[in-house]
Structure 1
Amino acid sequence: MQSITSELRNNVGKNDSHRLRFDGYIPSVIYGKGMNTLPVKIDKREMDTLVRNYGSNGIIQINIGGEEHTVLIKEVQRDPVTKEIIHVDMQKVSYDQRIHVKVPIVLVGKRNVEKSGIILQQQLKDVEVECFAGSIPKKLEFDISNFTIGDTLKVADMEFSEEFSIIADPQSVIASVATAEKTVDEVVEE
């Protein structure tokens, strides 16, 4: 598990956040059950590395004034133009605590499906799961290489380990395979 050092922020607000970003920090907050929200600042390079290596579901140790906190990166906010991280929300967790977290869904075998007019529609890019903080899956992979027209993948169709449970509706459609009824040229001619 990665460990970083952070400092409490004395000032909060829009102007202070802009100053922090200019100085190479990312304004962040740590919240959790039974604690007051802690506004902190984290070195931009360290946070970029953490998000790149652990994603938005990574668990890290953060040291604030000599006190260690185990936190889950809950939400990463990015600038819509530059895509740089502008704010991070972190939730304090313990390894024996069950938490809710969104896990990305990766469909394996897309190239086999997307051929000769067949269209794959992925409705869900991630799914919310409940698990212990120490056993968060990085991603959920599903092989769809044998799918044909009319096939669908629902939450209920997926197999999971006993370490976590799915919060989403079992009838939610993750992906479906369809065919294009008309080509663009045919629509233009009409």
Structure 2
Amino acid sequence: MPEKITAEMRTEFGKGAARRIRRADKIPAVVYGHGNDPIHLTLPGHDTMMALKHGGANALLELDIDGDSQLALTKQVQVDPIRRVLEHIDFVAVRRGEKVTVDVPIHVSGEAAPETLVVTEQSTVQVEAEATNIPERIEVSVAGAEIGTQIHASDLVLPEGTTLLTDPQSLIVNVTQQQTAEQLESDLAEAEADAGIVHEEGEEPAETAEFGAAEGDAGEGEAPAEGDTAE
């Protein structure tokens, strides 16, 4: 069931208004869809954040707008990269029973066979599902999978009522052989040779040389240039 959120109609717009909304621990949002004009709203910060966390990438909310109920599917969430707070949310208006197209995250579980490397080739797949029954994620088990195991979109087990739209032949998970340290060194040497990088005899790798220089600088201590001040 979608989580219920009480929304307020928003009449102020622009960056200044958005900042004032956020300072009040609220979130500016817009609901698009069904040929109607966009609905500009203000949502309670904490309740909305918890609803999105619980609902996942395609969270469905039931917005109470001046006493009217509107189902809204989350389409885009803007997050402040430093403070990690919600800045703005775009929703799409939907109806009960309506089918929607969404990208659902892939979740890989289980331990593959020893000395294997599990590579997730696609982190999401596109499906069609009822708006009120969108899977939060699609589980892919690699328990005991041997080297060479490949899981394609057609192998995914989808919930009832969910239709795969991604190409069935798309590779989702690939189980390969884990590289040894010797193989990694060999690949690095080959890549450097292709790039024309030649190490002179006795030359230290760049990272080691830089580290040594840093240690030397730290030990001797260089006097600040005239006019410089310590911070």
Structure 2 length-normalised TM: 0.74
Larger radius of gyration: 2
For the aligned residues, what is the CA RMSD? 2.1
Question: Following TM superposition, by how much is the alpha carbon of 1:186 offset from its aligned partner in structure 2, in angstroms?
Answer: 5.8
Indicate the SS of the match to 1:54: helix
Distance in 2 of aligned mates of 1:185 and 1:158:
33
Indicate the SS of the match to 1:113: coil
Tell me if the contact between 2:57 and 2:136 (Cα under 8 Å) persists in the aligned partners.
no
Indicate the SS of the match to 1:47: helix
Tell me if the contact between 1:71 and 1:92 (Cα under 8 Å) persists in the aligned partners.
yes
- Which residue number corresponds to residue 135 of structure 1? 133
Indicate the SS of the match to 1:29: strand
Distance in 2 of aligned mates of 1:140 and 1:105:
5
Question: Following TM superposition, by how much is the alpha carbon of 1:66 offset from its aligned partner in structure 2, in angstroms?
Answer: 1.8
Do the aligned partners of residues 161 and 45 (structure 1) sit closer, same or farther apart at CA in structure 2, a change above 3 Å counting?
Answer: closer
Query: Does 178-187 or 141-150 show the bigger shift?
Result: 178-187
- Which residue number corresponds to residue 119 of structure 1? 117
Residue-by-residue CA offset, 1:90-125 (whole Å, 9 max, x unaligned): 11111121101121211121xx22743x21111212
Corresponding letter in the other structure for 1:140: I
Corresponding letter in the other structure for 1:90: F
Indicate the SS of the match to 1:20: helix
- The number of aligned residues is 187
- Which residue number corresponds to residue 43 of structure 1? 44
Query: Does 78-87 or 91-100 show the bigger shift?
Result: 78-87
Structure 1 residue runs without a partner (length 5+): none
Higher relative contact order (CA 8 A, sep 6+): 1
Distance in 1 of aligned mates of 2:46 and 2:76:
17
Indicate the SS of the match to 1:55: helix
Query: Does 8-17 or 89-98 show the bigger shift?
Result: 8-17
Query: Does 172-181 or 33-42 show the bigger shift?
Result: 172-181
Structure 2 residue runs without a partner (length 5+): 190-231
Do the aligned partners of residues 46 and 181 (structure 1) sit closer, same or farther apart at CA in structure 2, a change above 3 Å counting?
Answer: closer
1:169 aligns with 2:167: yes
1:55 aligns with 2:56: yes
- Where do residues 3-152 of structure 1 align in structure 2 (5 Å cutoff)? 3-109=4-110, 112-113=111-112, 115-116=114-115, 118-152=116-150
* Residue among 139, 152, 155 paired with 1:154: 152
Corresponding letter in the other structure for 2:124: D
Structure 1 length-normalised TM: 0.88
Indicate the SS of the match to 1:35: coil
Distance in 1 of aligned mates of 2:175 and 2:142:
10
Question: Following TM superposition, by how much is the alpha carbon of 1:132 offset from its aligned partner in structure 2, in angstroms?
Answer: 1.3
Residue-by-residue CA offset, 1:14-49 (whole Å, 9 max, x unaligned): 222222111211111101112111111111111111
Percent sequence identity is 26
Distance in 2 of aligned mates of 1:81 and 1:185:
38
Structure with the higher fraction of residues in helix conformation: 2
Query: Does 157-166 or 146-155 show the bigger shift?
Result: 157-166
Tell me if the contact between 2:6 and 2:65 (Cα under 8 Å) persists in the aligned partners.
yes
Distance in 2 of aligned mates of 1:186 and 1:87:
44
